C-alpha cells in the first residue's frame, strides 16, 4: 500500500528563517510526487509536480526536490503569507489510469513577523 | 469566477438523514473527484468520474453515491448519515491528458453529523 509521511507535523519560523519540510514515501513505482498548499477553510492549491529523482522545481521562496525515498520543500526567507499547511501526495504508476493520489497529513507552517 | 465551486460550505444534520453536496467546475476538465479530509487532515480519494464513468471507488460505503449529470458537475449524495461521516469533503477536477497533472480543488464542505 502506498504511504506518505510528512514531518514535522507543525513548524513555527520567524520571518526570514529558512527551513525545510520533509515528505517520505513508499510507493510501488512512482509516477509523480505533488506538493500542495492548503489555507484554513480552503481547498488545497497546487504547487509542484516532481517526476524523477534529482528533479527540482522552484516558485518564489519555495523549492521542491526529490530523491528515490523522499522529497523536501525548502522555504527560503519565509514571509508571514507563507503560513499554511503544506501537503505532499504521490501517484503510483499503477494508479495512472485511475488518477488516484495518496496524501500525507501535512505540515502546518506558521511564520511569525 | 471560481474554477471549482461546491455547495453548501457547511452542512449540519442529524444521524439517519440523507443529504447532497453539489460540485461544479468551469475549467472544461474531463475528470472530477470527491475527496474526504478527516480530523487528522488526511485527504482520501472517494470517487472520480471521467466522461461520466466511475473509475475509482475506494472502499467507500454504498451509502455514498456520486451523481454526474454532465461533465461539469459531480454531486455527492449520502444516505443514512452516521456520526463517522463528519469530515470535510472536497470536490476536485483535472484534465486527464495533460502531462503536468494537477488537481483543482473546491473550498470544501464541512459536514457535521449530530
My answer on whether omega of the bond before A92 falls inside 30° of 0, hence cis, is no
Q: Contacts of residue B31 in chain A, CB cutoff 8 Å?
A: 99
Please indicate whether residue B99 or residue B40 has the higher confidence score (pLDDT).
B40
Q: Residue A65 pLDDT more than 70?
A: yes
- Contact call for A100 and B31, based on CB within 8 A: no
β-partners of residue B46 are none
Q: Residue B53 pLDDT more than 90?
A: no
- The C-alpha of B106 sits at a distance from chain A's nearest C-alpha, in angstroms, of 5
Q: Residue A81 pLDDT more than 70?
A: yes
Tell me the C-alpha distance between B3 and B11, whole Å.
21
- The whole-number average pLDDT for the span B1-23 is 94
- The whole-number average pLDDT for the span A18-29 is 95
β-partners of residue A25 are A4
> What phi and psi values does residue A81 have, to the nearest 5 degrees?
-70, -5
Q: Give per-residue burial for B2-35: e unless 16+ CB within 10 Å, then b.
A: eebebeeeebebeeeeebebbbbbeeebebbbbb
Three-class DSSP category at B83: helix
What is the model's pLDDT at position B100?
55
Q: Contacts of residue B108 in chain A, CB cutoff 8 Å?
A: 41-43
Strands (E), B1-114: 4-7, 10-13, 19-25, 31-37, 43-50, 53-57, 64-70, 73-78, 87-94, 104-105, 109-113
- Contact call for B56 and A105, based on CB within 8 A: no
- Contact call for A99 and B94, based on CB within 8 A: yes
Q: CB atoms < 10 A from the CB of A15, how many? A: 12
Percent of chain A at pLDDT > 70 equals 96
Residue of A nearest to B92 (CA): A43
Is residue A45 within 8 A of residue A62, CB to CB? The reply is no
Q: Which of A41, A43, A49 minimises the CB distance to B105?
A: A43
Q: Contacts of residue B104 in chain A, CB cutoff 8 Å?
A: 46
Amino acid at each position: 500500500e502506498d504511504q506518505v509521511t510528512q514531518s514535522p507535523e507543525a513548524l513555527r519560523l520567524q520571518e526570514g528563517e529558512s527551513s525545510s519540510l520533509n515528505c517520505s514515501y513508499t510507493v510501488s513505482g512512482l509516477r509523480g510526487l505533488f506538493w500542495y498548499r492548503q489555507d484554513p477553510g480552503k481547498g488545497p492549491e497546487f504547487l509542484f509536480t516532481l517526476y524523477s529523482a534529482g528533479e527540482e522545481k522552484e516558485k518564489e521562496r519555495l523549492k521542491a526536490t526529490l530523491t528515490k525515498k523522499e522529497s523536501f520543500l525548502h522555504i527560503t526567507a519565509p514571509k508571514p503569507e507563507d503560513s499554511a499547511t503544506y501537503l505532499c501526495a504521490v501517484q503510483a504508476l499503477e494508479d495512472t489510469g485511475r488518477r488516484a493520489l495518496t496524501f500525507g497529513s501535512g505540515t502546518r507552517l506558521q511564520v511569525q513577523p | 469566477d471560481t474554477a471549482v465551486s461546491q455547495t453548501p460550505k457547511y452542512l449540519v444534520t442529524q444521524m439517519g438523514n440523507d443529504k447532497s453536496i453539489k460540485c461544479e467546475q468551469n475549467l472544461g476538465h474531463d475528470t472530477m473527484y470527491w475527496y474526504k479530509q478527516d480530523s487528522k487532515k488526511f485527504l482520501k480519494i472517494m470517487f472520480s468520474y471521467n466522461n461520466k464513468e466511475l473509475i475509482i471507488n475506494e472502499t467507500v460505503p454504498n451509502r455514498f453515491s456520486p451523481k454526474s449529470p454532465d461533465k461539469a458537475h459531480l454531486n455527492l449524495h449520502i444516505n443514512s448519515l452516521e456520526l463517522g461521516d463528519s469530515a470535510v469533503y472536497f470536490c476536485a477536477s483535472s484534465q486527464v491528458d495533460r502531462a503536468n497533472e494537477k488537481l483543482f480543488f473546491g473550498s470544501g464542505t464541512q459536514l457535521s453529523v449530530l
